[in-house]
Chain A
Amino acid sequence: MSTTTVDHAHDHSHDHAHDHPHGFRRWLFATNHKDIGSLYLWFAFTMLLSGGVLALIIRAELFQPGLQLVQPEFFNQLTTMHGLIMVFGAIMPAFVGFANWMIPLQIGASDMAFARMNNFSFWLMPPAAILLVSSFWVPGGATAAGWTLYAPLSTQMGPGMDMAIFAVHIMGASSIMGSINIITTILNMRAPGMTLMKMPMFCWTWLITAYLLIAVMPVLAGAITMTLTDRHFGTSFFNAAGGGDPVMYQHIFWFFGHPEVYIMILPAFGIISQIVPAFARKPLFGYASMVYATASIAILSFIVWAHHMFTTGMPVTAQLFFMYATMLISVPTGVKVFNWVATMWKGSMTFETPMLFAVGFIFVFTIGGFTGLILAVTPIDIQLQDTYYVVAHFHYVLVAGSLFALFAGYYYWSPKWTGFMYNETRGQIHFWLSLITFNITFFPMHFLGLAGMPRRYADYPAQFTDWNTVASVGAFGFGLMQVYFILAVVIPSIRGGKAAPAKPWEGAEGLEWTVPSPAPFHTFEEPPVVK
């Protein structure tokens, strides 16, 4: 075969990797991991604001008992779409954005293993978002079955449900391709000399996360495909009359769903494990045990799913098994927390914004972890399942966990991305006010849950009023802080500011700090050698 058959315009040079397209083509046709990473991050932040606006409507409605702003059916749509958008649109893509930006830089690779497929993974997200969001305007509105899409309620929904199902299919395809890309990059493109056990923690956590994604996204696809055929093609998977079982949906869903929550936290652990040593100016304590702990969490995550289903009525042996298995996860997670603390111990610490968010993460995530542990105890879970205690639990691990880690990572690496230092004072304001308003929003929800307030409620008994009011006020404060973040921190630091040196953090280590800031369009075309 002669090489001259290649006739694409961009393929003309011997080293076409040097083209640096401009304008809209740069973004639409991107094959550069940094550009694609930025696309993911912008997309995710847009979704965070959209999902956040839905949350704020929820909180506004719950400010007082009674129905003031929205009808209950619309309220359920809000809750459902808030969950779906935050999980699939905000948190997951944001971590993929970090993976795109940082993994090649951290392992000394020129790009992701499959640059074009990488772009495809991204360009599946906007179509999915369009499907999801536009479903609000079809007859019957968006799906209102909860982000868990439990059958048979999901069978009752209108066309909005089908759009959500197809959107999740697309996002699943995106996640699977993205994960294959990440795994292949990490396994096959590390610079010579960088053994797996020398690899930065962030890469390790993503390697394991990607494995989880490939294992469970297809299962979710299966579950919603069955929902689709039950809805339209007369199958009886989740219909007892035809010999199926609604609870089977829950088993399949949570086989995906529980690993999914670790998909949203393991990369966060990775980011924190980069930042804490950098600002303690001391190597990460227990690197090897961090790797093993991450792997243990991932493996255990496959055998705990039914802790979301204690009230469905399982045999007692199943309840006990899932309780024990779930509680075991706190052991490897504890190892991580202890390792971080030991890394700080006798360090030489400074507290720039990344470190503040990292410490804030450890502190608040642990609260969420403990409430998780409390929920894992079957009898207590039976009291608390489907109450606001659960809502409190998962916002502690998702907002103060995943989201705070994302902020920490942003402050840590944005100098490398933009070439400018963010404004430190504003970063600190963002941290402190986010931390405070976060707790004002979500801490009272523990009380509400213990007292028995059910979740996904458009209206509630008047005894719950006061804590709801507090939470609603906090939510608006927290939302405001995120607007502050984008307007006062992110945008100014893209436009300009103090020029960032190649390595802005004294204690930071890793290949990403060996390239200039901002990172040139192409890095490591010939791999560096790691000793």
Chain B
Amino acid sequence: VVDSQGGPAVRQLNLQTPVTQIAEQIYSIHNLMLVICLVIFVAVFGVMFYSILKHRKSLGHKAASFHESTTVEIAWTVVPFLIVIGMALPATKTVVAMKDTSNADITIKATGMQWKWGYDYLKGEGEGISFLSTLSTPRTQVGSPGVAPTEARGDNYLLEVDNQVVVPVNKKVRIITTANDVIHSWTIPAFGVKQDAIPGFVRDTWFKAEKIGVYRGQCVELCGKEHAFMPIVVNVVSDDDYKKWVDTKKKEMAAKADDPNKVWTVDELKQRGEKVYAANCVACHQASGKGVPGAFPALEGSLIVNGAKAGQVGILLNGKNAMPSWKSTLSDTEIAAVITYTRNSWSNKAAENIVQPAEVLAARK
């Protein structure tokens, strides 16, 4: 294995190399704390081990009988108190700086979902861009109990995604976080940024990356079974490259945008739906459509999937128990496609076997 560029190094001992001022400050506060703690540690245990070595019964040392000293006791209450204050001061400055999310050049919303991230560029250059970002390490590198991985692991094993967040260098980027289902947490260690993404709430944080490169983090709040498989990758590029990226991304999005009023055939929808299913549903309901007994319901043979289509549309839009709402994550076409896919796959042969995007649009009200 070699070091991951913008991620952890092999056998790394300290924090990741900082690329923002905040991360820099954190790095140095941590080093300072480490040194102070070490000094206290050596002093205290120096005394203790001296005593252990010299004041032994086996050396004939006789026990003294003192058992208090107000002076000493006050001293070792006051001195640590002052040391602690000394430690808190530089930290205070950094805390205040970290919390100042005003005057950002670009605002991006990061939405945690089981188990991927959704990004929406809300303000600044690139406004309007939005995409999902999913782990791109193939499962054949991971393996599973009893099944050895069939492919060698890459350098960025579990630290790579299909769509990276792209931001310009030296610009203040404000990330606002939220979530669709449970709490996730968005972090890039090299930026000194970590912010929980809380369903129904928004929180924010910011960074200003000073070096071009790709930086990597991983979801750091337990969010269910694929918690280890939803990394975060930020690509910091030059201003020019950023402009280019925005351009291509916008064109790409325009090309991809579906007209919700287009009428599709079953096969077209099935084809499209299979992709949607693989990207969004397979983690719980499994490729076999059989789900995970006790945890995630089977779609194969499901009454909902084989029953009236309005019910299934409703559940996809609004969620139910562990099933998240897909209202804001999937487009009408995608929802229609994936429903049609489930109604015509495995052993399912639903009577109402096709849902058109327009119907989903109508159900959204």
Which residues of A pack against B, CB within 8 Å? 65-73, 76, 138-141, 144-146, 150, 152-153, 156, 158, 239-241, 245-247, 280-289, 311-313, 316, 319-320, 323-324, 327-328, 330-331, 334-335, 337-339, 341-351, 359, 362-363, 366-367, 370, 373-374, 377-380, 382-383, 385-387, 447, 450-454, 456-467, 507
Contact = CB atoms under 8 A, between A and B. Distances in A.
Given A289-B68, A349-B61, A507-B63, 4 more contacts: A146-B222, A241-B200, A319-B99, A334-B76
Contacts of A71: 144-145, 225
Given A377-B29, A462-B157, A323 B63 contact: no
Given A286-B73, A323-B91, A454 B218 contact: yes
A316 B62 CA distance: 55
A460 B228 contact: yes
Interface residues of B, number: 108
B44 A463 contact: no
Nearest to B22: A379
Most buried by B among A76, A141, A459: A459
A347 B26 CA distance: 43
A329 to B, nearest CB: 9
A69 B29 contact: no
16 contacts: A72-B227, A156-B182, A245-B201, A246-B199, A312-B198, A313-B204, A324-B88, A341-B48, A346-B55, A346-B63, A346-B64, A370-B40, A451-B13, A451-B189, A452-B16, A454-B219
A86 B96 CA distance: 38
A374 B92 contact: no
Nearest to A283: B67
A411 B80 CA distance: 33
B196 interface: yes
Contact of B222 (A150, A158, A285, A345): A150
Contact of A383 (B26, B33, B198, B226): B26
Nearest to A141: B294
A139 B292 CA distance: 10
Contact of A331 (B4, B77, B185, B189): B77
A94 to B, nearest CB: 26
B304 interface: no
B64 A138 contact: no
A377 B88 contact: yes
B87 A379 contact: no
Nearest to A371: B37
A350 B56 contact: yes
Contacts of A461: 4, 7-8, 156-159, 218
B222 A456 contact: yes
Contacts of B13: 447, 450-451
B254 interface: no
B307 to A, nearest CB: 23
Contacts of B81: 328, 331
A76 B88 contact: no
Interface of B: 1, 3-4, 7-16, 22-23, 25-26, 29-30, 33-34, 37, 40-41, 44-45, 47-48, 51-52, 55-58, 61-69, 72-73, 76-77, 80-81, 84, 87-88, 91-92, 94-96, 98-99, 141-145, 149, 153, 155-159, 181-183, 185, 187, 189, 192-196, 198-201, 203-205, 217-229, 292-295, 321-322
Given A311-B195, A337-B44, A68 B29 contact: no
A452 B84 contact: no
Nearest to B14: A450
A214 to B, nearest CB: 28
Contact of A374 (B16, B33, B58, B76): B33
Nearest to A377: B91
Contacts of B228: 72, 454, 457-460
Nearest to A324: B88
B199 to A, nearest CB: 6
Contacts of B220: 311, 385-387, 454
Contacts of A359: 48, 52
A334 B81 CA distance: 10
Given A65-B153, A386-B220, A456-B227, A344 B55 contact: yes
Contacts of B64: 282, 345-347
Which among A153, A452, A456 has the highest number of chain B CB atoms within 10 Å? Answer: A452
Nearest to B47: A341
Given A382-B98, A450-B14, A463 B293 contact: no
Given A335-B76, A461-B4, A344 B223 contact: no
B99 A379 contact: no
Contacts of A327: 84, 87-88
3 nearest A-B residue pairs (beta carbon): A240-B200, A139-B294, A313-B203
A68 B143 CA distance: 7
A237 to B, nearest CB: 12
A457 B5 CA distance: 21
B12 A463 contact: yes
A465 B295 contact: no
A459 B158 contact: yes
A370 B183 contact: no
A377 B185 contact: no
A330 B80 contact: yes
Contacts of A138: 294
A517 to B, nearest CB: 22
A308 to B, nearest CB: 12
B222 A153 contact: yes
B294 A377 contact: no
Contacts of A287: 67-68
A70 B143 CA distance: 11
Looking at B12, B192, B223, the one whose CB has the most chain A CB atoms below 10 A away is B12
Contacts of B203: 312-313
Nearest to B72: A342
Contact of A330 (B44, B84, B99): B84
A147 B229 CA distance: 21
Given A76-B224, A153-B222, A341-B47, A313 B26 contact: no
B289 to A, nearest CB: 18
